[in-house]
C-alpha cells in the first residue's frame, strides 16, 4: 500500500499542472469501477460520497471498502465527503475514517459560511484531514440555466476578493469557486469565467476545485487546470452511464441482474479511464 496525504497529492497535481479526479459513487459497483480504472491507469483517485448518497451508501461501508482496496493495491485511493452541509456529519465521517472533507456552506449567509467552515477545519485538524470549502453558488444545471439575466448569473460567480477573505478566515486547504460550471446534465455549453478563475487563483494561492466536470469540453478543463484547478469532480458521467447501461440491458427479460451490474461496472471503468487520461493524473505518481 502506498501512502500519500490528500493535500500532498493535490499540491503535487497543482505543481505539475494536472488534476486529481474525484469520482462520486453511491454503490459497490461504482466504487469498484473507480479502483479498477485507477489501477489500469496507475493513477491516484479520489472516491467521493455525497451527503445525499449516504442513505444508500453509509460512511462505514465506504470506509470498509476503502481499507480493503488500499491494502490490496499500490495506488492511493482517497475517500472524500462531498457537499456536506452539516458539521455533525463531517465529524461523523472523520471519525469513521474519511481522508478528505468538503463542507458546503455556500447557500448560507457569508458570515455563517465562514463560521461553520472554520469549525469543520478545526475538527478536521485533529484527524490530519484537509478541508475543501465552497464560495459562490454551484447549482444544478437546471437551476443554473434558468437564470434569465446577467445579474442573476453574476450572483452565482465567486468574487476573487471575497475568496481571499474566505480562505484566510477559514483556513481551508482547497476552494471550490463558482466560475460557470454546474452539477448535472448541461443543456448547452457552459461558459467558464476563466478571467475570474485566474484572479481567484492569484488571490487565494491554494489549489482550486472544478465542480460539475461532466460535460465541460476537454479544452476548457485543461485551461482550468492551467489557471489553478488541481481537482476535478465528476459525478453525472458515472451516474448516467450506470442508468443507461441498466436501461439498455434491462430490455432483455432473461438477463441476470448480476450481469447487468457487471456491465454497468465495466462501462463506468471506461468513463473513469477516459477522465484520468484527460486529467493526466498518472504523472502525480511518477
User: What are the pLDDT digits (tens) for 17-45?
Assistant: 999 999 999 999 999 999 999 999 999 99
Q: CA-CA distance, 47 to 34, in Å (whole number)?
A: 7
Report the percentage of the chain scoring pLDDT > 70: 90
- Give the chain's domains with CATH numbers: 6-285 (3.20.20.70)
**Strand residue runs (E) in 52-168:** 77-84, 100-103, 131-135
**Identified catalytic residue from 53, 74, 82, 153:** 82
**Residues annotated in a binding site for dihydroxyacetone phosphate:** 184, 212-214, 233-236
Residues (pLDDT < 70) of the chain are 1-3, 138-155, 183, 186-187
DSSP helix, strand, coil percent of the chain (3-state; round to 5):
55, 15, 30
Looking at residue 183, what DSSP letter applies? B
- Torsion angle defined by CA atoms of residues 24, 27, 29 and 33, in that order, rounded to the nearest 10 degrees: 20
Rounded to the nearest angstrom, the gap between the alpha carbon of residue 259 and the centroid of all alpha carbons in its chain is 29
Strand partners, 49: 81
Contact 271, 244 (CB under 8 A): no
185: nearest Cα among 127, 239, 259: 239
Give the pLDDT confidence score for residue 179 in this predicted structure.
Answer: 93
Instruction: Classify residue 213 as exposed, middle or buried by CB count within 10 Å of its CB (0-12, 13-18, 19+).
Output: buried
The pTM for the full model equals 0.92
Q: CA-CA distance, 170 to 237, in Å (whole number)?
A: 32
Give the pLDDT confidence score for residue 186 in this predicted structure.
Answer: 65
**Residues annotated in a binding site:** 83, 104, 134, 183-184, 211-214, 233-236
**Residues annotated in a binding site for Zn(2+):** 83, 104, 134, 183, 211
Give the pLDDT confidence score for residue 139 in this predicted structure.
Answer: 54
Examine the residue annotation and report whether 153 is marked as an active-site residue of this protein.
Answer: no
Give the pLDDT confidence score for residue 150 in this predicted structure.
Answer: 45
Amino acid at each position: 500500500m502506498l501512502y500519500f496525504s490528500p493535500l500532498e497529492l493535490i499540491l503535487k497535481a497543482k505543481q505539475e499542472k494536472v488534476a486529481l479526479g474525484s469520482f462520486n459513487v453511491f454503490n459497490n459497483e461504482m466504487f469498484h469501477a473507480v479502483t479498477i480504472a485507477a489501477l489500469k491507469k496507475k493513477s491516484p483517485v479520489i472516491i467521493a460520497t455525497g451527503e445525499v448518497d449516504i442513505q444508500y451508501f453509509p460512511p462505514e461501508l465506504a470506509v470498509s471498502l476503502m481499507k480493503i482496496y488500499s491494502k490490496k493495491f499500490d495506488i492511493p485511493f482517497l475517500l472524500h465527503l462531498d457537499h456536506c452541509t452539516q458539521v455533525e456529519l463531517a465529524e461523523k465521517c472523520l471519525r469513521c475514517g474519511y481522508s478528505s472533507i468538503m463542507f458546503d456552506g455556500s447557500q448560507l449567509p457569508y458570515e455563517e459560511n465562514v463560521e461553520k467552515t472554520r469549525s469543520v477545519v478545526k475538527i478536521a485538524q485533529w484527524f490530519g484531514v484537509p478541508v475543501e470549502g465552497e464560495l459562490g453558488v454551484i447549482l444544478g444545471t437546471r437551476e443554473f440555466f434558468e437564470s434569465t439575466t446577467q445579474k442573476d448569473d453574476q450572483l452565482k460567480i465567486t468574487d476573487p476578493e471575497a475568496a481571499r477573505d474566505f480562505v484566510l478566515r477559514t483556513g481551508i486547504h482547497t476552494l471550490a469557486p463558482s466560475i460557470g460550471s454546474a452539477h448535472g446534465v448541461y443543456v448547452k455549453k457552459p461558459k467558464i469565467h476563466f478571467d475570474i478563475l485566474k484572479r481567484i487563483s492569484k488571490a487565494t494561492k491554494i489549489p482550486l476545485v472544478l465542480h460539475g466536470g461532466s460535460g465541460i469540453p476537454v479544452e476548457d478543463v485543461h485551461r482550468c487546470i492551467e489557471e489553478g484547478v488541481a481537482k476535478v469532480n465528476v459525478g453525472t458521467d458515472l451516474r448516467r452511464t450506470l442508468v443507461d447501461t441498466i436501461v439498455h440491458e434491462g430490455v432483455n427479460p432473461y438477463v441476470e441482474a448480476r450481469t447487468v451490474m457487471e456491465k454497468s461496472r465495466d462501462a463506468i471503468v471506461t468513463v473513469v479511464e477516459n477522465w484520468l487520461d484527460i486529467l493526466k493524473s498518472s504523472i502525480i505518481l511518477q
